[in-house]
Amino acid sequence: REENMLRAEKLRVVGELAAGMAHEIRNPMTTVKGFLQISKENSYNIEPYYELLMMEVSRVSELTSELLQFSKPHAGDVRVIHLQESIQRAVSLAEAEANYYSHLICYEPESEELYVRMDRDKLVQVLLNLLKNAFDAMPEPGTVTITSSRSDEWCTIEVMDTGTGMSEQELQQIFNPFFTTKETGTGLGLSICHKIMNDHGGSIEVQSREQHGTVFRMTLPLATGAQKVL
Ligand code: ADP
């Protein structure tokens, strides 16, 4: 019986995903198809619309690569990694974009070295996603502050921005696939972050205040001494 319920729940999730996906792919494709059709039937010059059409096609291809993230075998290249170093890497990668928007990223690594068992690229991907969302949410110039800390066998990473924040209603939906408030967003970023953290035995949660900012808090189990030696 429990198995049946699990299967029903899985089917429901797949159904929701499929509906969202179909919608996201059909809309840009309808635009492209429409332009091709009028260009063919009326020899209408669509050159001025190339840019727009390229954007629609890029959106679909971006969406499909993001969807692949969901289907990849769950954890990837899991090993013991240095937490502060991985955060620093994400910060370096995001610096150019931050400068472009006159935003500031503050990260002061704490002195105690922390280790977690995780696919480093995925941790960096999660952080880049949160940083990018923060940049989008902040009037320029804004500040994103990253902290990491330890409590018992867990570490916590916080990414805090000075952005527009979110309403209660938005907050409830942000981890749902395809929920986006952005014109060119896919709404997959945070649901992928959520999946990555879960796959590694961690979690991600959010607190936000409208007009004040948002903080994403992630926790991960620390690697044990024995794991570090391996
Ligand atoms: P996308 O960035 O493509 O919209 P995400 O899943 O990354 O997809 O984010 C979903 C939505 O959550 C965003 O459209 C935005 O409304 C909201 N959001 C995410 N991060 C923040 C943030 N730091 N501040 C305010 N809103 C945010």
Distance of alpha carbon 26 from alpha carbon 222, whole angstroms: 43
Long-range CB contacts (within 8 A, 24+) of 20-28: 20/177, 20/178, 20/187, 21/63, 21/67, 21/178, 23/178, 24/59, 24/60, 24/63, 24/178, 24/186, 25/60, 25/63, 28/56, 28/57, 28/59, 28/60
Question: Are the CB atoms for 35 and 46 separated by under 8 Å?
Answer: yes
* Helix, coil or strand: residue 46: coil
Question: Are the CB atoms for 87 and 146 separated by under 8 Å?
Answer: yes
pLDDT score at 63:
81
Buried b (16+ CB within 10 A) or exposed e, 184-207: eebbbbbbbbbbbbebbebebebe
**How far does residue 131's CA lie from ligand 1's centre (Å)?**
11
pLDDT score at 102:
94
State whether the beta carbon of 12 lies less than 6 angstroms from ligand 1: no
**How far does residue 97's CA lie from ligand 1's centre (Å)?**
17
Question: Are the CB atoms for 138 and 181 separated by under 8 Å?
Answer: no
Q: Is the pTM of this model over 0.90?
A: no
pLDDT score at 227:
67
Structure-token pair, residue 81: 């990694």
Distance of alpha carbon 129 from alpha carbon 118, whole angstroms: 17
Distance of alpha carbon 112 from alpha carbon 43, whole angstroms: 68
State whether the beta carbon of 182 lies less than 6 angstroms from ligand 1: yes
**Candidate from 62, 103, 180, 215 with most ligand 1 atoms within 8 A of CB, to mutate:** 180
State whether the beta carbon of 88 lies less than 6 angstroms from ligand 1: no
Which of ligand 1's atoms lies nearest the C-alpha of 188? 6
pLDDT score at 73:
61
Distances (CA, A) of 202 to 74, 147, 194: 13, 17, 9
**How far does residue 165's CA lie from ligand 1's centre (Å)?**
10
Element (H, E) at 79: strand 78-82
State whether the beta carbon of 179 lies less than 6 angstroms from ligand 1: yes
pLDDT score at 129:
94
**Candidate from 126, 133, 164 with most ligand 1 atoms within 8 A of CB, to mutate:** 133
The pLDDT tens digits along the chain (230 residues) read 777 777 777 777 777 777 778 888 888 899 899 988 888 888 888 888 899 899 889 888 888 887 777 766 655 788 999 999 999 999 999 999 999 999 999 998 888 899 999 999 899 999 999 999 999 999 999 999 999 999 999 999 999 999 999 999 999 999 988 899 998 788 889 998 998 999 899 999 999 999 999 999 999 999 986 666 55
ipTM above 0.85, yes or no: yes
pLDDT score at 72:
66
pLDDT score at 203:
97
The amino acid sitting at 224 is: T
Going by alpha carbons, the residue nearest to atom 11 of ligand 1 is 180
**How far does residue 137's CA lie from ligand 1's centre (Å)?**
8
**How far does residue 122's CA lie from ligand 1's centre (Å)?**
18
Going by alpha carbons, the residue nearest to atom 17 of ligand 1 is 174
